[in-house]
Structure 1
Amino acid sequence: MPRAEFREFSSYYGRPVLKRPTWQATDIAGYLWLGGLAGASSLAGAGAHATGRRQTARVLKSGAAGAISLSLAALVHDLGRPARFLNMLRVVKPTSPMNLGSWLLAGYAPLTFAAAASELSGRLARAGAAATASAAVLGPAVTTYTAVLLADTAVPSWHEGYRELPFVFAGSAATAAAGLGLLAAPCAVSGPMRRLAGAGAALEAVALRRMKRRMGLVAEPYERGSAGRLMRTAQTLGLGGAALALTAGRRSRAAAAVSGVALLTGSALLRFGVFHAGVASAEDPRYTVLPQRERMAARGDGTSGRSPAAGPGGAGGPGGGTGRRGAD
């Protein structure tokens, strides 16, 4: 960008308009992906349990318990110490996605452990079935609440995707759970996993396309740089893995396994792509300044009109932060 043009979008004294998110990609993108995988696996595992596909159910229930454990570990590692997570459970704050998400995880994780333990040990079948059903009820919320968490920040490419991002995450999580199921299920009983892969890939692709079209300028970070490469690779793996599962995966165990790996990898890369797109949008003042100007122009008011995400500090609350979790 030419120097004069860059100066037009610089804030006072050359400081960034928004503070760059300080979260580590491995921790937060991993937390996003593993939580989605867990929630969708609980729902798919309950379906497999109800239809007598015990081998698939065993893998999905175990996968849900393992994924949510690793997701919580990544979150606690980012927070710095476990006490910060526990502190969020001292109150219930309906206006805080992070607080409600913490309570959701606190209720959901033990259910996945109980469901997996019962399935693997063969004991307490009724209690295990109840835990399986309860985890499945909470699974969709676990899958999508992280999208709400990102959209609640002032980071432009996260905040402006608030309508479609939960659907993008839901579709991506469904493909991941389907991929996990395809790695375990024999071809003769993997029909539900194949259909889940197709539905999840379609939902992800349609929601992502609608989101980028509606966002306009702020969608650019999803198509450029490292974030753009990650997003394109994720979509290729997701759609390709689903297509392979629905065709060759019906007859070939090897093809089903390859599609499962592709679906899991694509789902993970999408979360990393979303993370890096948000960071890129926070670093470039264009994505904060221009949408604000467009909103003011649409209202015919050149003197007022703050971004919906902006607080007293100008962006995301006092001091221009990114809406980082209150526990920090």
Structure 2
Amino acid sequence: MSAGTHHGMGARTGPPTADSQTDVRMDGTSGLRHERDATPGSAGLGRVGRRPMVRGREFRSYYGLPVLNEPTWKDHDIAGYLFLGGLAGASATLAAAAELTGRPDLARAGKVGAAGALAGSLYSLIHDLGRPERFINMLRVFKVTSPMSVGTWILTAFGPQCFAAAGTAVTGWFPRLGRAATVGAGLTGTAVATYTAALISDTAVPAWHDGYREMPFLFAGSAAASAGGLGMLAAPLAEAAPARRAAVLGAAVESVAARRMERRLGHVGEPLRRSRLLRLGAALSLGGALAGQVLGGRSRAAAVAAGAALLAGSACTRFGIFHAGMESAGDPAYTVEPQRRRLARAEAERDLG
């Protein structure tokens, strides 16, 4: 059996006619079509222009095959890149705030943590690209309409300042340069923590593309919660108050954005609602933020436990978003049926007009 026949393309040459319409059967014989429409995904629907289409039928692709080519991204690369990039950007911003408010230990923890997370994020990105020079090649142009191009330049502006801030914090050399680098990394860190939301929302993956409104808030909240968790882990209790507040605010924003996105997406949001990783991430983030706020200021053990829960919660959220998106790309129902509803709405608007 040829590939074209298997996918419903048929073996005819020339336009079909009402008197001679045959199909190649599984046994190699031919038979009459009996008024079957050959439009992909429309089995049981009437021919356009000859009789009204039957509404309410399930609209799927041939043989349930994916409509989209699934992304070739690997979870340990791209999901890790999403998590570590958010942690790096938010930690740099928290470190700048600590630097300006006289909390040197919290600032140092944020700078070193941001540099380590950025190094891991860049490794994951370059490993997924395959060759390091591909990252360099993306710097040849700047396209404001391309989230990947904008993100590459954001990382290029953020990286040197982030590493300089961490280096001066560890060695004690060039304190003025270190302070300037800390402030610069803090400013660009907000973009690093959120641009990946625009990056995945710009794809054709249904759960990501349709969640473009809430995704930046979800990523920003998750990043802030993870940075707060890192601050509680590494900083002394007396200086960790900003980290605890960042964790509470981040966990709240993440939770509200996730629930709103799941409800608004409707059928397309089913992979998000089914994700155990997202449920676990929400529980860890909210539980860690609450424990940190209530007990983290008095008990070092509670602060460490809360910080670890926040970091794990943020990682679960990023991996859950990644896997839910991959699931939505692999199931044609999440691609074809929303398109059908949009076409039906457009048709109704034309009829009313």
Give me the TM-score of the superposition, normalised by structure 2.
Answer: 0.81
List alignment gaps of at least 5 residues for structure 2. 1-42, 45-56
- Distance in 2 between residues matched to 1:84 and 1:114, nearest whole Å: 24
Measure the CA separation in 2 of the matches of 1:136 and 1:302: 48
Distance 1:141 1:211, change over 3 A: same
CA offset digits 1:1-53 (Å, max 9, x no partner):
xxx99x95443576420111110000000000000000000000001111111
Q: Which of residues 67, 71, 92 is equivalent to 1:21? A: 71
In structure 2, the partner of 1:119 is 169
Task: Assess if the C-alpha contact under 8 Å between 1:171 and 1:199 holds in 2.
Answer: yes
Say which structure, 1 or 2, has more relative contact order (CA 8 Å, 6+ apart). Answer: 1
User: How far did 1:301 drift?
Assistant: 5.8
The answer as to whether partners of 1:10 and 1:17 remain within 8 angstroms in 2 is no
Q: Deviations over 1:160-189 (max 9, x none)?
A: 000110100000000100000001222222
Alpha-carbon separation, structure 2, partners of 1:16 and 1:287: 10
In structure 1, list runs of 5 or more residues that go unmatched: 304-328
| Match for residue 298 of structure 2 among 228, 251, 259 | 251
Instruction: Please give the residue correspondences for 1:195-206 in structure 2 after superposition, counting only pairs within 5 Å.
Output: 195-206=245-256
Matched, 1:163 2:221: no
Bigger mean CA deviation after superposition, 294-303 or 55-64: 294-303
Give runs of aligned pairs for residues 199-214 of structure 1, distance below 5 A. 199-214=249-264
Separation in 1 of the partners of 2:207 and 2:65?
20
**CA distance in 2 between partners of 1:250 and 1:129 (Å):** 27
- The aligned counterpart of 1:276 is 323
Q: In structure 2, how many angstroms separate the alpha carbons of the residues matched to 1:68 and 1:189?
A: 24
1:177 and 2:177 correspond: no
Q: How many residues align?
A: 296
Tell me how far apart the structure 1 counterparts of residues 84 and 242 of structure 2 sit (CA, whole Å).
Answer: 21
The one of 178, 182, 200 aligned to 1:150:
200
Give the stretch that moved more between structures: 120-129 or 254-263: 120-129
Match for 1:130 among 177, 180, 199?
Answer: 180
Q: After TM superposition, which residue ranges in structure 1, 4 or more long, deviate above 2 angstroms?
A: 7-15
Other-structure match for 1:291 = 338
Deviation of 1:295 (Å): 1.1
Contact 1:46 1:132 in 2 (8 A): yes
The corresponding residue for 1:260 is: 307
Match of 1:83 in 2: 133
Q: Could you say which structure has the larger radius of gyration?
A: 2
Q: Does structure 2 retain, via aligned residues, the 8 Å contact 1:111–1:134? A: yes
Range 288-297 or range 35-44, more displaced: 288-297
Q: Does 1:107 align with 2:154?
A: no
Aligned-residue RMSD, C-alpha: 1.7
Whether contact under 8 Å (1:237, 1:262) holds in the other structure is yes
Percent identity, aligned pairs only, is 59
Q: What TM-score comes out, normalization by structure 1 length?
A: 0.87
User: What is the rounded CA distance, in whole Å, between the counterparts of 2:349 and 2:242 in structure 1?
Assistant: 55
Within 5 Å, which residues of 2 pair with 1:313-328?
A: none
| 1:190 positional shift | 1.5
SS at match of 1:249: coil
* CA-to-aligned-CA distance 1:71-124 (integer Å, 9 cap, x gap): 010000001010111111111111110011111111111110100111111111
